[in-house]
Structure formats: structure tokens, C-alpha cells
Chain A
Amino acid sequence: MTNEQYSIVGTCPPRVDAVDKVTGRAVYGPDVSLPGLLHGQVLRSPHAHARIRAIDTSRAQALPGVRAVVTAGDLPGAEERAAGSGEGDPQARTMRDYTLASDKVLFVGHLIAAVAASSPHVAEQALALIAVDYEVLPAVMDVLEAMQDAAPLLHETMKTWSLAGESQAPSNVASHVRYVKGDVVQGFAEADVIVEREFRSVTVHQGYLEPHASTALWGLDGRLTVYTTTQGAFGVRDHLATLLHLPLSTIRVVPTEVGGAFGGKNASHLDAIAALLSRKAGRPVKIVMTRAEVFLGTEPTPGTVIRVKMGATRAGRLTAAQAELYYEAGAYPGSMMDAAANAIFGAYDVPHGQVDGYDVVVNRPKTGAYRAPGVTPACFACEQVVDELAERLGFDPLEFRLLNCAREGTRQVGGAVHTSIGAAEVLEATRAHEHYRAPLEGAQRGRGVAFGYWGNWGAQSSSTISVNADGTVTLVVGSVDITGTRTSLAMQVAETLGLTVEQVKPRMGDTDSVGFTETSAGSRTTVATGIAVVKAAQDVLAQMCARAASMWRVPVDTVSYCEGVFSTSQDPGQRLPFAELAAQLPYTGGAVTGVGNVDVQEWGVSFGAHIVDVEVDPETGRVTILRYTAVQDVGRAIHPVQVEGQMQGGTVQGIGWALYEGYAYDGEGHMLNPTLLDYKLPTALDVPPIETVIVEVPYPKHPYGARGVGEMPIVPPPAALANAIYRATGARVCQLPMTPARILQSMGVI
């Protein structure tokens, strides 16, 4: 991997936020404090499904130290609802009911009321004094049960949306999507071998260590300021404006440092409640979730049932692929089923394909994004079937994937056509890796591979660059830094401006300081905000060239900038390094600020292949990972060490999903393991060092060729581990997590 053409891109400077983070100075959501701060706590439903008959907050309000209590009645729009006069936009109603339940609670953890008090302990005492009269209703927790006609309905008026229109009867199925390419009946008729299996997975949590926290100050001037740990400050502003019926410009959202997010901090959970409490109390209010609240009251992943059927010829060519995806959306629609339906066969050239996806509400927390949302269980399903096909046809697993992988021009079952991609390059690098050929001896040991695809994202980003008189520049971006993007963006600016990284001072802007920028999700920030900052840097250079032209009294089109020096073709004697021209700005017209606003509609997609060696203890079913290698096309690694960090971290999350993690429930919808003792995240002892191979197939529409990086690595691990466990034991494990008990069951031992 060489990037001789660049001086900054491809190097590994220390991350700009590192010193603040190792000294404890970085300010995260729970660290925010303001003068006169009150502490908020929220009351959550103990029932998975119940009607609220009445809420009595009078005793809580009377407790000394309590300054404000809010319920659904404090949300704008609640009056219309009570009067029964038109609900307006059903999405607004959903947003209100999700923020603070009014007539029904739909999951254990559903918010009902909140208290602001002089200390968290007083607020906690006050919560115990709020009396809620519930009529408990039957709950439905499982996706297939929720689809039955007799299942309890979560939303009495919700109908199924599909391309055929809305269903006649209300249903827990919020939507049904279908993607078709060719004719699967014909495709399966052409197959020599067909493999069909059903797979299941349960809800897992993103597991960020920093709990959600929000601090709001709603002043008497009508201005609302919110300090919050979020992936996207502008998304929080939009949410608050809609929910609280406020003009955007009266709201300022200030993003804090984010202590892990992985998709789980796109949604706004506490911000509106902190704001309502602040307005009532006349003081700033901070709410910090407990760990149990993080499990119960945020947006983990959907549980899934996925059926996959694939066929291939003796020559090793796929003829057809079909999948049904049933995703548990939680209490409100919006599981990541659609992303999964698009991605499940995205790594392959499938002549005939059909995917049916169902988004189904159940009495669990609403689900949300987790790193390549929805796709990890889909890959777990598809890649085990592909592995089985390869085995039954007598092909090497990587050889079979190479024969069938997507290439430029391949039309996906979801409709999109792959453009410049590195799928084959990733598979070839994996096949060539020493790990793939290394001997693996011993009983109960096996090597598995899996291949995955994720589509990434582009969208809107905004940035400004101000030139300082000392030759440095200040970069303000609308993107929240959740992975090290201040550093990777500063590097792209430094490369474009011919500066050192240290000369670029990146800052995360709040919503008053920079233009609208989409949330940091979809592996978009280094790529899309990267395009924005390069555009801003080019704007700076154009303005600086004009400044030099005016100083030298030459036409601007004769001025150019090369290797850190401005010069003019009209006079070889005139040369100004960047810093010297910057020092002249105060005397030649004032400050120079470059602007880069983009809406990126084309971006590079990702492919990754993983190799893993395991040993399975035949008596206990325990899996030991002996060696793990992750290979990925990243387009161009802007900062290879940070890319490696993303690949290692995402892979270990995928290992957790594969082997350890999962929500467990009792029969009434109560989560049994909402602690970090009982919900097991991988520790340093559970995982080996993850070896990484960075493949670079530059994406032509990014100025430095970058593709999204962060999400892809979580996709293949459960599939790779399942394939390795199969090779070690002869048993296919079709359910996540692959706990020792499940492995022993699959082996027929218990």
C-alpha cells in the first residue's frame, strides 16, 4: 500500500482529540455542567403492553427539592389529541407517544413522566411517588407471532404498507418490501444444487460505554440550548423543532464528545424531556441514563428470522437466490429490514433473485441502527448457505465466491447497479493471504470464511475553513466526530492546502456555527464531509490566488499554487508561501474563509472478507478463536492506523454478536439481563489480536479515492465464525448468539 502521490493522505498522525482523552479533559454528555443545574430522572413503564388509565404526579410535585414534573400532556399537540380533533401527521403522533407515552405503553422502558430536582437522588425519590394506573394488555414479543391474525395489536390503526397499497385490516406488519430480479422459479430450475435454511437472531445492543445524556436550558427569551451526546446535532435540532413546535433558529444543539455510538446515538431520547423540564423549572436540567435504561430505553437492533434459498450449477455458478426477512421493529416501525433486504445478496452476481422483507412491530424497545444496520444477521444467513453450496459442489469456499462475486456493472436484486467496486480484489487478497493457506491441525478445529457487502452513505455536509494570520487554518465541520474524523478531515484539508496536519485546527461545530450536516452514520463522514472540506479548501485557495493576484497586479488566472507556494506565470520573481500570504491578509482585504457545502449522491460501497480459525471444546461447546484476519476494500486509507482501528473494533463487535450477546426476556416482556454482567460484551481475554489487510481500490468520485470504512467490519464475523464452527464440529449453527449450549445442541450432544 503506497500513496507516493500524497504527502499527508496515507500517513498516521496522532488523533487531534487524543491528549484531551488520555488526560480526562474531554467533555462527554454526562460531564456537562451549567450554573444552577438541576438533575432529571425519567419514569419508565414496567409493563410491555398496557393502557394508561391515569397518572397522578401530585405527590412527586410536593416533594421538597422537586422543581418540575412533566408528562405527555406537556408536549405541544397533546391538547388536540385530548379533544379528539384530528391527530395531524401520524408520524408526529408517533414521535410524541414515543417521547412520552399518553394512552398506551408499548414496551418495558417506555417513557411516561420525568422529574427535575436538586439532586439525582431527590429526583429518583420523586419518581417513586408518581402513581400510574395501568390496565395490563397481552404482549407479543416474537416477530412471527406478531404476524398472526390473532396477535395483540400494538397500534390499533396501523396497516401494512407495501407496493400493492395499504392492507384492509390493521396489522403489526408495518411494511412489506419485495425486490425482484429475473425469475427465481426459472433460476432454481437451472440449479444442480439448492440449499435452503432458516436462521434466527435476537436483539443486541450497540454497547457504547457512555450512557445517553442531555443538558437543556430553555431561556425566557425563548431560546433553547441543548448539550447532548449525539451522532448528529442537526438531526436533534430537527427532532426538537418538530416535536416542540419551535422554529429551527430558536434551537442550538451543541454536540459533546461521544463515548461510543455505533448507530445508537442517531435518535434523540432525552433532549426534548430535558428541554420541557428546563422550561418548567426555569433552570438548566441534565438527564443521564443508567446502564439499565440504556438497554431498555434506547434503540438496539431488531431480532430476526431469515429464510435463504440459493441454487447453483455444477460449474459453480449461482443461478438463483431468494430470501425472506422478518425483522422485529420494536414498538414502532422502522427496523433496518430495508437496508438488509438490499444488501443480503449485494456481494454476488445473482441472475435470478427475490427478496421479501417484513418490518413488524412487537412489544420491545424501538430498534435502530447498529453499524451496517440490519445486515449482519443477513450476512450470517446468506454466507452459511453460500458456504454449504460451495462444499456440496466441491469448491474451495473463496474460489466459489470469486466465481460469483459482484463486479462493475452487476445489477443487484435491489435494483442498483454496482459501479467501481473492489469485491474481487478483496477475495483475491484474502485467498492470497498467508492465513488462508496456513496449516490448521488438531481435532475440533476449523477455519471459516465469510464475505460481506455494505452500501455506505453520502448526503449533506457543510464546512468552513478560516485562514489565520499565522498560516494555520481553522476547520469547522457540521459532522460529529465519533471515530477520529476530526483527524481524517484535517488531513484531507492539509493535503489540499499543502499544509502540515498540525497547521489545520479542526472543530466540531454546533448548529449555530455551520450549515446543515447529516448525522455521522453510514460510514459517511470521512467520505462526504471529506468532499465538503476539500471543496472548502479549494475555495480558500481560489480566494488566496485572487489576493496574490491583486498584490502582484497580475490577472488571477496567471496565479497558481504548487507545493505550498503561490506564484504567477507573469513574473517568476513573485513567490509567496502560504503562511506569508496568510500574514498579508489583514492588509489586502481582510479574512479569507472558504466554504464547502455538498449533497453527495454517489459514493463508494464496501466489501470485506474475514478468515477465522476456531477450536470448539466438544464437552462444553466453548469456542476459542485462534486467529482472525479481516480484509477490506477501503478505497484509499486516509489514515491507515485509524482504518485498522475501525476494522479491529468492528470485527470484535461482530464476534460479540456471534458468540455472546443477546437480550433475554421472561414471558411477560421483561428483559432479564440489562447489566454489563449479564449482557456479555467481549473482554480483552475473549478475542485475539485482529489482523487486518487494507485493500485499496480507489473510488473515483472522492478526491482521494476514499470509501466508507467503519461499518463493513461488523458484517462478516458471525458468518465466518459459524462456517468455522461447522468445519470444526460438522454442525451448522443457525441461531445467534452461538452460545456453548446452542453449539452442543447443533452437534447433537445435548
Chain B
Amino acid sequence: MPDKIRVCTTINGEQVEFLCEPHQSLLECLRDVLGLTGTKEGCNDGNCGACSVLLDGRLANSCLVLGVEIEGRQVTTVEGLASWRGLHPLQQAFVAVDALQCGYCTPGMLIAARALLDREPDPSEERIRTWLAGNLCRCTGYDKIIRAVRAAAATLAKQAQEVQR
């Protein structure tokens, strides 16, 4: 049994400390060590996007990151999108336009869409399709997902205007 390594990091705004084996991926650490099973495994080789997380605000496939690599960094998972006040506008939009069926790609889609809207508040449909091309969905045919991201962008823009006022 290999020696375990202590990792101190921030996940969804909370300081977290855990032990992981050197070969364990961030995805395994989130799911099996920390019990954050919202992040999904679809392929374990970086081709489906179901395990998408934000790593210091950048979109990453958590199956391609080692657990030990997140020492001192900031990780955001689907569990960190909503607060006790309610759902994030992206989550609200996915519910409102029925942008999910089985829901297995949904956590990764939400995280990927969040990464896009954090950078580009008003992306075109083409831009959203390009950005989300790394996240596979087998159920929806993508149309409603694209519509949900556009709807969330509009909501976030409106919220930003209200804050400015």
C-alpha cells in the first residue's frame, strides 16, 4: 500500500484537508475520499466532460488532475454552485427549460457553462456550442442546454445591472 499524502486545499469555499494516494485522481478524491459525488465519471480519460470542475477558476477535467496537485488551490464542483439562498441562475435555467434528461452530464455542463459565463457574459450560440463541445450529452441533443445557457446569461446580465444601480 503506497504512503498517503496530506493535501490542504479549498473546495467550494471551504478549507479541506484529506489524505490521498499519489496515483489517485482529483475525481477519485472528490468522489471516494470526500464524498462529493456530484462530479461524475463518464470515461476517466478526459473525453466526456462529466467530471468538469473549476480549478482556480479554470475549467478542468478532474479525471486528468491528480489529487496531490490541488494542494493550496481553489476547487469548485457542482455542489458549490447553489447556496442556501437558492439555485445559481444556470441551475435555474436548466430546470426552467428542461435542459436535462438523465442528468448525468448536467453537473459537468453546469460547471463548463459557468466557466464560460465567468469569462464571457454574453456568448453567441455558436460560441456556447464550441465551448461545450468537450461535454458530451447523450439525451438532449444539446438544443435545450444551449438555450438554458443563453437564458442564464441574460439573467446574470440583469442581476449585474441591478447591482450597478
A residues sitting closer than 8 Å to B (CB atoms) are 12, 14-15, 17-28, 30-31, 33, 64-65, 121, 206-211, 257-262, 288, 290-291, 482-484, 641-642, 645, 648-653, 675-677, 681, 683-685, 687, 689-690
Contact = CB atoms under 8 A, between A and B. Distances in A.
A740 B81 CA distance: 41
A677 B101 contact: no
B98 A641 contact: yes
Nearest to A654: B141
A259 B40 contact: yes
Given A642-B98, A649-B139, A681-B136, 14 more contacts: A22-B100, A22-B107, A27-B37, A30-B40, A64-B1, A260-B102, A483-B101, A645-B101, A645-B141, A651-B141, A675-B43, A676-B45, A683-B134, A685-B133
A444 to B, nearest CB: 22
Contact of A18 (B81, B100, B105, B146): B100
A407 to B, nearest CB: 31
A23 B79 contact: yes
A692 B133 CA distance: 23
21 contacts: A18-B98, A22-B87, A22-B106, A24-B37, A24-B39, A28-B104, A65-B1, A209-B104, A210-B102, A211-B41, A211-B42, A259-B40, A262-B138, A288-B41, A291-B48, A642-B98, A645-B144, A648-B140, A648-B141, A676-B48, A687-B142
A258 B97 CA distance: 21
B29 interface: no
Contacts of B135: 684
B60 interface: no
A681 B39 CA distance: 21
Contacts of B98: 12, 14-15, 18, 484, 641-642, 645
A20 to B, nearest CB: 8
Contact of A25 (B38, B94, B100, B137): B38
Contact of B41 (A21, A30, A482): A30
Contacts of A483: 101
Given A31-B37, A684-B133, A21 B142 contact: no
Contacts, number: 170
A27 B137 CA distance: 18
Contacts of B159: none
B22 to A, nearest CB: 11
B146 A689 contact: yes
B54 interface: no
Top 6 A-B residue pairs of the complex, sorted by shortest distance between their CB atoms: A24-B38, A259-B104, A21-B103, A648-B141, A652-B141, A24-B78
A689 B125 CA distance: 10
A210 B40 contact: yes
A37 B36 CA distance: 17
Nearest to B146: A684
A208 B139 CA distance: 8
A30 B39 CA distance: 11
A23 B47 CA distance: 22
A18 B47 contact: no
Interface of B: 1, 21, 23, 31, 35-45, 47-48, 50, 77-79, 81-82, 87, 91, 94-98, 100-107, 110, 128-130, 132-146
A195 B28 CA distance: 56
A21 B109 CA distance: 12
B143 A209 contact: no
Contact of B48 (A23, A209, A261, A641): A209
Contact of A689 (B47, B50, B101, B143): B143
Nearest to A288: B41
A232 B141 CA distance: 25
Contact of A28 (B40, B95, B142): B40
A256 B142 CA distance: 24
A17 B142 contact: no
A482 B23 contact: no
Contacts of B146: 684, 689
A685 B1 CA distance: 44
B37 A210 contact: no
Contacts of A207: 138
Contacts of B81: 22-23
A651 B48 CA distance: 20
Contacts of A19: 87, 91, 95
Given A18-B100, A482-B102, A684-B129, A291 B42 contact: yes
Contacts of B101: 260, 483-484, 645, 649
A676 B107 contact: no
A291 B138 contact: no
Given A209-B42, A211-B41, A675-B43, A21 B138 contact: no
Given A651-B141, A684-B142, A257 B91 contact: no
Given A262-B138, A689-B143, A684 B128 contact: yes
Nearest to B93: A22
Contacts of A22: 78, 81-82, 87, 91, 94-95, 100, 103, 106-107, 110
A240 B50 CA distance: 31
Contacts of B87: 19, 22-23
Nearest to A483: B101
Most A C-beta atoms less than 10 A away, residue of B96, B104, B133, B141: B141
Contacts of B45: 291, 675-677
